[in-house]
Amino acid sequence: MARHKRMRLATWLVSHKLMTLDQAHKVMQEQKQQTGHIRERFGRIAVKKGFISEEALRRAYFEKEREEALLRPVI
């Protein structure tokens, strides 16, 4: 049985026009520059940079989860 692959948050935000591709790349660049064992999450950086509001990120995350739940096969 094939598993449904989850979409990355950055891809979802860009595809739903909540962030631009350039903004997503800037966030990912900042993630790559972070050193240490734990990197800051994509959404936190996007909010910190002002690319998306905390509330819009929260709604986007739940909508993404809802969409993915609808795509999961029922066993």
Residue 57 within a domain: yes
| 43 inside domain | yes
CA dist 46 and 60 (Å) reads: 13
Q: Which domain holds residue 14?
A: 9-71
Rounded to 5 degrees, φ, ψ at 34 are -70, 135
Q: How many domains, the chain?
A: 1
pTM: 0.81
DSSP secondary structure, 37-62, as one string: S-PPPHHHHHHHTTSS-HHHHHHHHH
Q: Is residue 21 part of a domain?
A: yes
Tell me if 1 is assigned to some domain. Answer: no
Using CA of residue 56, residue 57, residue 59, residue 60, what is the dihedral sign? positive
3 within some domain: no
Average pLDDT for the chain: 89
Specify the pLDDT at position 4. 53
Residue 28 CB contacts under 8 Å (≥ 6 apart), including other chains:
10, 42
Is 4 contained in some domain? Answer: no
pLDDT of 50 above 50? yes
